[in-house]
Amino acid sequence: MPIILTGFMGVGKTTVGRALAEDLAIPFVDMDTYIEEQAGKSISDIFAEGGESHFRQIELAVLKSLLQNPDLNQAVISTGGGVVETAECRQLLKEQDQVFYMQDVFETSWRRISRHNPAKVQRPLVKVNTREEMLAKYNRRIPLYIETANFTLDVQKSNAFQTAKTIQRYL
User: What digits encode the pLDDT tens for the residues 40-59?
Assistant: 998 888 988 998 899 999 99
- Residue 108 has a pLDDT of 83
- Rg (C-alpha) for the chain, rounded Å, is 15
Kindly write down the DSSP assignment for every residue of 65-97, as one continuous string. HHHH-GGGSS-EEEPPTTGGGSHHHHHHHHT-S
Kindly write down the DSSP assignment for every residue of 6-19, as one continuous string. E-STTSSHHHHHHH
Contact predicate 11/155, CB 8 Å: yes
- Residue 128 has a pLDDT of 58
pLDDT band at 126 (very low <50, low <70, confident <90, very high): low
What b/e string do you get for 143-171 counting C-beta neighbours within 10 Å, with b at 16 or more? ebbeebbeebbebeebebeebbebbeeee
- Residue 124 has a pLDDT of 54
- Residue 115 has a pLDDT of 57
User: What is the average per-residue pLDDT within 60-69?
Assistant: 98
- Residue 122 has a pLDDT of 56
- Residue 36 has a pLDDT of 92
Return the minimum-mean-pLDDT range out of 69-78, 96-105, 127-136: 127-136
State pLDDT tens for residues 71-92: 999 999 999 999 999 999 999 9
Residue 120, pLDDT > 90, answer no
Tell me which H or E stretch contains 100: strand 99-103
User: What is the average per-residue pLDDT within 101-126?
Assistant: 69
Contact predicate 18/26, CB 8 Å: no
Rounded to whole angstroms, the Cα distance separating 13 from 18 reads 8
**In whole numbers, what is the pLDDT of the chain averaged over residues?**
90
State the CATH architecture for 3-163.
3-Layer(aba) Sandwich (3.40)
- 128-133 long-range contacts, Cβ below 8 Å, gap at least 24? none
- Residue 123 has a pLDDT of 54
- Residue 109 has a pLDDT of 80
Contact predicate 71/27, CB 8 Å: yes
State pLDDT tens for residues 24-36: 999 999 999 999 9
